[in-house]
Structures are given as structure tokens and as C-alpha cells.
């Protein structure tokens, strides 16, 4: 038997950096695991789990790649404020749900240390092997400041993410907003 790995205690927040339908990002992930890897994508009114959680990911660079319980990409394929607002609620609810699953109890965004919800920007700024600043510029484009993101991660936005049908036969799970 091999050595057991301790549970992962980070949730990483990203945005795609490009515009395409969810299916294109899912297809890319299935072909290029070694170049980019994340566990969920949010967009088009849903969150889709595209890989297993609690196994690290190739998503923020350096040592924190393997500290992630989950990594969420916010699809930048947004055409209106209403679409953004809908998907932003899913993004926040999913981040909070995954953090709870990972055993994270402090929902303060970007805290020092190896436990918590972290933006890719924070991982870069604290020397963890990347120079990316997502998801902050994308969120700011749609009116969400860093302070608002911090507030919403800590307190939520009033919606709960709930499982629904799988996205395809590969075992991906599709998640949507439930009215709770």
C-alpha cells in the first residue's frame, strides 16, 4: 500500500481568460490534462464538475497545484449583466459548497497559509509559481470588486448549489442554482 495523502484544503477561483461555450472548455480539458486542469466550470447557468475533487490540480502553478481540493473556472462567455449575475451566484455558492466539503471553516478569501479559498491572483502574488491575476479583472469588468468578492465568499449570495443530471456519459456532474 502507498502512503495516504492528507486531505486537500484549498478551493481555487479562476476565470477562463477566453470566450467559448462550456462544451469547448470541457473538450479541451479531456484532451490536454497536463496543460490545464480544473475540477469545475461555471457558465451558461450551470456548474459542471469535469474532474474528481480532493486530488490537486494543475491550475495555479507551483506548490499549490497539489493543495487544491477543487478548482473552479468561471467561463468568460458572458453577454449580459443578467447572465453574469446568474452565473456569479452559482460561482459563489459552488465555492462555498466545495470549501465546506474540503473542511474549510473560515470563508475569508485569500488568507495566508495553505488552507482556504484562494484566487489565482493571490496564489501568484504570494509566490506560488504563476503570474495570472484571474478572476479579478473579469469580475471587475462586470462590477464585482475584490472587496465584494471577499464579502460574497464569506457570507454567500443567498443561493445554494444542488446536484442535477450528469453533463455527459463521462461521469461529469452538472450543478445548478437551487432556490433555498
Query: Is residue 172's pLDDT more than 80?
Result: no
Residue 151: predicted pLDDT: 97
- Give the C-alpha separation, 65 to 56, whole Å: 6
Cα gap 33→80, rounded to integer Å: 31
146 vs 125: CA distance, rounded Å = 14
Q: Check: pTM over 0.75? Answer yes or no.
A: yes
pLDDT digits (tens, 9 = 90+) for 81-138: 999 999 999 999 999 999 999 999 999 999 998 899 999 999 999 998 889 999 999 9
pLDDT value of residue 161: 52
Residue 155's pLDDT is 96
pLDDT (0 to 100) of residue 59: 86
pLDDT at 164: 39
Angle in degrees, CA 88, 110, 174, rounded to 5: 35
The answer to whether residue 73 scores a pLDDT higher than 90 is yes
- Report the share of the chain in percent with pLDDT over 70: 81
- State pLDDT tens for residues 146-162: 999 999 999 999 755 54
Bridge partners, residue 70, by sequence = 11
Q: According to the model, what pLDDT value does residue 49 have?
A: 92
Q: In terms of pLDDT, which residue wins out, 179 or 76?
A: 76
Radius of gyration (C-alpha) of the chain in whole angstroms = 15
Q: What DSSP state is assigned to residue 135?
A: T
Give the DSSP letter string of 5-57. PPPP-EEEEEE-SS---HHHHHHHHHH-TTT---SEEEETTEEEE-S-SSS--
What is the pLDDT of the chain when averaged over all its residues?
84
Amino acid at each position: 500500500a502507498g502512503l495516504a495523502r492528507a486531505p486537500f484544503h484549498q478551493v481555487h477561483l479562476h476565470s477562463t481568460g477566453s470566450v467559448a461555450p462550456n462544451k469547448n472548455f470541457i473538450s479541451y480539458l479531456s484532451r490536454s490534462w497536463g496543460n490545464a486542469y480544473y475540477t469545475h466550470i461555471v457558465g451558461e447557468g450551470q456548474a459542471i464538475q469535469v474532474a474528481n475533487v480532493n486530488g490537486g490540480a494543475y491550475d495555479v502553478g507551483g506548490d499549490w497545484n497539489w493543495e487544491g481540493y477543487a478548482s473552479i473556472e468561471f467561463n468568460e462567455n458572458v453577454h449580459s449583466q443578467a447572465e453574469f449575475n446568474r452565473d456569479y451566484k452559482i460561482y459563489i455558492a459552488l465555492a462555498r459548497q466545495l470549501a465546506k466539503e474540503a473542511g474549510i471553516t473560515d470563508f475569508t478569501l485569500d488568507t495566508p497559509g495553505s488552507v482556504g479559498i484562494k484566487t489565482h491572483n493571490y496564489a501568484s502574488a504570494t509566490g506560488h509559481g504563476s503570474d495570472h491575476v484571474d478572476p479579478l479583472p473579469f469580475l471587475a469588468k462586470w462590477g464585482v470588486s475584490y472587496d465584494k468578492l471577499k464579502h460574497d465568499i464569506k457570507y454567500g449570495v443567498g443561493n445554494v448549489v444542488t446536484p442535477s443530471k450528469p453533463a455527459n456519459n463521462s461521469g461529469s456532474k452538472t450543478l445548478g442554482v437551487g432556490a433555498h
